[in-house]
């Protein structure tokens, strides 16, 4: 037979056990969510890195084409000027895309 004090202590132990079990379950759920978020961040970072690399390569190609175009425009001002204008417009579009990617990277980092 338990004394009233022992019964009260037993009730406290049972309550603590239940609370600990609930806390462990919550931690396990949090850990699973954290792993999911980590995987998503890795995927997003990889995609961003790939996009940024593509933009840098495209920018280098456009710069080379622009230099070639400017060299040719010396001999053919009319046709080459239009080509140069188109390349400059493409470069502007690329700069906007790079700015968007940089903003995304900043959001990911501050995340």
pLDDT for residue 78: 65
User: How many residues appear in the chain?
Assistant: 111
The Cα–Cα gap between 7 and 81 comes to 94
Q: What is the pLDDT along the chain (111 residues), one digit of tens a residue?
A: 889 999 999 999 999 999 999 999 999 999 999 999 899 888 888 888 788 788 888 888 888 887 777 776 666 666 666 777 777 777 777 778 777 777 777 777 776
Confidence (pLDDT) at 35? 93
**Cα(107)–Cα(51) distance, rounded to whole angstroms?**
15
pLDDT attached to residue 76: 65
Can you give the pTM of this predicted structure? 0.45
Is the Cβ–Cβ distance between 48 and 109 less than 8 Å?
Answer: no
55: Cβ–Cβ under 8 A, 6 or more apart, which residues? Answer: 94, 97, 98, 101
CA nearest to 69, candidates 78, 80, 54: 80
Instruction: Note the helical H segments in the chain.
Output: 4-73, 77-110
List the structure tokens of 86. 């188109």
């Amino acid at each position: 037979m338990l004394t009233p004090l022992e019964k009260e202590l037993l009730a406290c132990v049972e309550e603590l056990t239940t609370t600990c079990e609930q806390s462990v379950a919550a931690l396990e759920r949090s850990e699973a969510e954290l792993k999911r978020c980590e995987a998503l961040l890795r995927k997003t970072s990889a995609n961003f890195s790939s996009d940024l690399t593509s933009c840098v390569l495209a920018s280098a190609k456009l710069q080379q084409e622009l230099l070639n175009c400017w060299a040719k425009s010396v001999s053919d001002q009319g046709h080459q000027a239009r080509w140069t204008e188109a390349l400059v417009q493409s470069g502007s579009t690329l700069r906007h895309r790079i700015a968007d990617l940089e903003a995304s990277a900043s959001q990911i980092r501050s995340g």
